Chains A and B, each alone.
Chain A
Amino acid sequence: MSALIITVVLGIVVLYLGFLNKKAILSPVAVAGLLVVLWFTSGEWNSGAAYFHDMVVFDNFSVAFNISMIILTILIFLFGMDYYRTMEFHVSEHYALMIFALTGAFLMTSFSNFIMLFLGIEILSIPLYILAGGKKYSYRSNEASFKYFMLGSFATTIFLFGIALIYGTTASFYLPEIEQYVAGCNGELHPMLMIGLLFVLIGVAFKIAAAPFHFWSPDVYEGAPTLVTVFMSTVAKTAGIAAFYRLLGMGLLPLPVPLERALWVMTGLTLLVGNMGALRQTSFKRLLAYSSIAHSGFIMLAMLSQHDNSASTLLYYTFVYSLAVIPVFIIFILVKRASNGLEQLSAFNGLFREKPWIAAAFVILMASLAGIPPTSGFLAKFQVFVLSIGQGYLFISLFAIVMAIVGVYYYFMVIREAYTESEFAKPIVLNQLNAALILICTLGVLILGIFYRAIII
């Protein structure tokens, strides 16, 4: 709870620090603040507490996901030091909005009440709508912001409608009470409740860009400033997944058959759309957007294969995915600068000659995203498959394996570009902080893959 409050205060502090007009101190202050938040959050481990008449429950599940999101935000802010250095406008609101979004993310991992979930989603989303339009004079950025806002509000409306329908049937917002009601129905659910649950799931599926609610993601990822794209594809995604799982795990499992079928179809579609879509992309950010959709598919596979290990698999999967995505984007920014703002895959050409060690790190990170051993990305996929095959979903697992092969293709297509002979327009400028970040994340990806210890949540 104190973590939540400190985060909000930190956001306001950072916002007002903007008046000092010293860009260099923003990121250190924010990072220091987040470290304090991290300290308080980890103190809540194993001491689950409920607040506001049990509307928010900080159990181990939410604490684990919150810690993971705080670490990711810290990494993103450190990356921001270099990213915002050359920008002319005030950046304090960017940091502040990200911190506010993080507050929303905390609520999304710890709700036990539909109202809190709704609040969390909105607190996360509204800063993101603004952040997506962070480049004021860029046409694409404005488009991204507008598109995200329109589609996002639409999804929110459906979500809210779903909550209303559920309340209409069960007379409650509380997940445990709804669970009881559903259990009491003996499998014969009122159609209104069914539709309500479906709408709620659609609202959350929109947040994690599961097909067929993914259409916003490539455009927004491409148009938004890269740092915001990183934030969306890591922290916001983690929050969405945690919320999705909490929703299923706390109230809705086992799902009514029609809903379960719908979700399976959604999983298959997400895998298909994400991987097939990524194949034909020439813009790197769009490629990562589609790959992010594809990863949502694998995550949903783990989510639907209900098992005690599902939650820890999700935590591991989202964390190592994000840990690989952040440095990949850092490297992308570096080569983009060196090739005069090129965003195509060919921007990576010649990376191998120019910076061999960065290229090697890039290979490891992409291999982790593709799921090649001994990286942690492989172990994450391995666990997903252990879950889904173990629960007997053989055909969808085989389908997911075929899709994983497609995934390997486009990730290695990018690696191939990095290992193609070419010259950059300008030399790559790599400062020590970014180099350290890339190193830490790459080592993290390797070490988490080789020495894995499960966190039971």
Chain B
Amino acid sequence: MKLLILLFLPLFAGLLLLITRKYRFSGYLAPASALISLVVTLMVISGVPSGNVSVDWMQVPGVRFNLQLDEISKIMLLLTGLLYPFILLSSWGREQTNQASLQALLLFSQSALTGVFLAGNAFLFYVCWELALLPVFFILLLWGGPGRRSITLKFFIYTLAGSLFLLFGIIYLYLQTPGLHSADFAAMAQLQLPEKTQQWLFWILFIGLAVKMPLFPFHTWQPPAYTTAPPQGTMVLAGIMSKMGIYGVFRLLFLVLPQGVLFWQNTVIILGLTGVVYASVIAFRQNNLKTLIAFSSLAHISLMVAALFAANTYAVQGVLFQVVAHGITIVALFYLVMLTEEKAGTSELSGMGGLKISAPRLALLFMLVMLGGIALPLTSGFIGEFLMITGIFKVSVWFALAGGLTLVLGAVYMLYAYQRAFLGPLNPAPEHKGDIISRDQWWLIPLVILILVLGIWPQPVLNLVLTIPELLRPLPLP
């Protein structure tokens, strides 16, 4: 029942919002729904029995509507439940055209994403996977910045192309299951495909997942899409949708194609590390603050993929911790970028400068969140990256060295950007609009507190991922 609430509440709230958008109370609908979802999520995660849902769905054998909850799902649910209230609140009271529709679309995407993370059946998983894309397509198309028409279509086609490869892989796996076929993940995990098959099928599935993350070299849609999207769209894309790919790697690769994973392990790690260095270097040269953060997100995700394929206990637990930590940080960062752009009247770093003088509170919050982003000790980013790099170290020292570059390069480009935007003399050109208003401040402070608390006391989240090695039994984690 609780799982069904998680899945359908946002959907119905969104529909209700669309119908009642003319009334005053509709403004409260979206945040209220997100808050209820958060409470239910926390209940589900803390072990309140949530019951299983499993009904026959279609007359296609093995296609069932079943929801399952394991530790990996829990982490992803935590991420979704935690971030959506902030994403929705960040648009609260802003001057955006047709805000009710924007919030409804955001709620639809929440519903679909929850479906992805809860699905126990590959068919349901795929349906939700693609459904999550549609609201974002419209968010980008209708509320995006300049050049949105072509960028939106590119983003959509690129990610959908990935999805269709995923579909091919899923159908192939489905047809390999014995008897009348079953699309349940549990049945797929029982398959022991020949090694050759695992090796080629790995790439079909992995391309589909890698486009979504995105991983170098499948990332070219990402920086323009993140830059053009409205802030809320970017938050969903960077905070949660990028983690869908990582979730998919667990579900479809680690559990179903363990030998494929081991065979291509080093290749993917090298791709990930290349992405780290590549994205960091490019981020350094960016003049647009939002694009810069987009590349920094690319670098972080790349590191997470590299660590994931290091495939040992440290790394995998680190990745799952970092999923949550990075989600919180990146949403807070994009929130702050939105505020910075509002206050400075431009998104170009060259047009900013000295914002600390006109907006000291914004500067302070930005500094705190940024420190989380560059993984300073005592912030949540540090815990995740520490575990991940330890894991990579166990594979190879050289890999670990390259991975460690994220920390160094991240500090370089982030501090440099901060310096250009907030420090120095006040740039006289733009009309400065003062400091942030208290509403935004109140939404941001919880995020900052979360970043700090998880950095000092990460145990609640780490407890969730303790049993991961057991869960990933097909792939023995060293």
Identify the closest chain A residue to B65 (Cβ): A450
Complex contact A413–B168 (CB within 8 A):
no
Complex contact A408–B127 (CB within 8 A):
no
Complex contact A401–B164 (CB within 8 A):
yes
Complex contact B157–A405 (CB within 8 A):
yes
Complex contact A398–B168 (CB within 8 A):
yes
With A and B bound together, what is the CA distance between A280 and B149 in angstroms? 17
Cβ-Cβ contact count across A and B, 8 Å cutoff: 70
User: How many residues on B have C-beta within 8 angstroms of the other chain's C-beta atoms?
Assistant: 28
Is residue B156 within 8 Å, beta carbon to beta carbon, of the partner chain?
yes
- Give min CB distance, B13 to chain A, whole Å: 17
Is residue B59 within 8 Å, beta carbon to beta carbon, of the partner chain?
yes
Complex interface: chain A residues within 8 A of B167 (CB)? 382, 385, 401
Is residue A103 within 8 Å, beta carbon to beta carbon, of the partner chain?
no
| Per-residue interface assignment for chain A, residues 423 to 457, with 1 indicating a CB less than 8 Å from any chain B CB and 0 otherwise | 00000000000000000000000000001111000
Q: At the interface, is chain B mostly helix, strand, loop or mixed?
A: helix
With A and B bound together, what is the CA distance between A352 and B98 in angstroms? 12
- Give min CB distance, B210 to chain A, whole Å: 16
With A and B bound together, what is the CA distance between A139 and B134 in angstroms? 41
With A and B bound together, what is the CA distance between A453 and B126 in angstroms? 20
Is residue A372 within 8 Å, beta carbon to beta carbon, of the partner chain?
yes
With A and B bound together, what is the CA distance between A373 and B170 in angstroms? 15
Identify the closest chain B residue to A373 (Cβ): B127
Complex contact A383–B60 (CB within 8 A):
yes
Complex interface: chain A residues within 8 A of B152 (CB)? 416
Is residue B270 within 8 Å, beta carbon to beta carbon, of the partner chain?
no
Complex interface: chain B residues within 8 A of A367 (CB)? 134
Pick the residue among A385, A408, A454 that contacts B60 (CB under 8 A).
A454
Is residue B165 within 8 Å, beta carbon to beta carbon, of the partner chain?
yes
Is residue A397 within 8 Å, beta carbon to beta carbon, of the partner chain?
yes
Complex contact A390–B131 (CB within 8 A):
no
Complex contact B164–A404 (CB within 8 A):
yes
Complex contact B130–A372 (CB within 8 A):
yes
Complex interface: chain B residues within 8 A of A416 (CB)? 141, 149, 152-153
Complex contact A386–B153 (CB within 8 A):
no
- Give min CB distance, A86 to chain B, whole Å: 34
With A and B bound together, what is the CA distance between A390 and B173 in angstroms? 10
Is residue B171 within 8 Å, beta carbon to beta carbon, of the partner chain?
yes
Complex interface: chain B residues within 8 A of A409 (CB)? 153, 157
| Per-residue interface assignment for chain B, residues 221 to 264, with 1 indicating a CB less than 8 Å from any chain A CB and 0 otherwise | 00000000000000000000000000000000000000000000
> Which residues of chain B have a CB within 8 Å of any CB of chain A?
58-60, 123, 126-127, 130-131, 134, 137-138, 141-142, 149, 152-153, 156-157, 160-161, 164-165, 167-168, 171-172, 174-175
Instruction: Give 15 A-B pairs besides A408-B160, A413-B153 with Cβ atoms closer than 8 angstroms.
Output: A352-B142, A373-B130, A386-B60, A389-B171, A398-B168, A401-B165, A401-B167, A402-B164, A404-B164, A405-B157, A405-B160, A408-B156, A408-B157, A412-B137, A419-B142
A/B interface sample: 22 pairs, CB < 8 A: A352-B142, A372-B134, A374-B131, A385-B167, A386-B171, A386-B174, A394-B172, A397-B168, A398-B168, A401-B164, A401-B168, A402-B161, A402-B164, A405-B161, A408-B156, A408-B160, A412-B137, A412-B156, A413-B153, A416-B141, A416-B153, A419-B138
User: 6 shortest A-B CB distances, which residue pairs?
Assistant: A373-B127, A452-B58, A405-B161, A454-B59, A390-B175, A401-B164
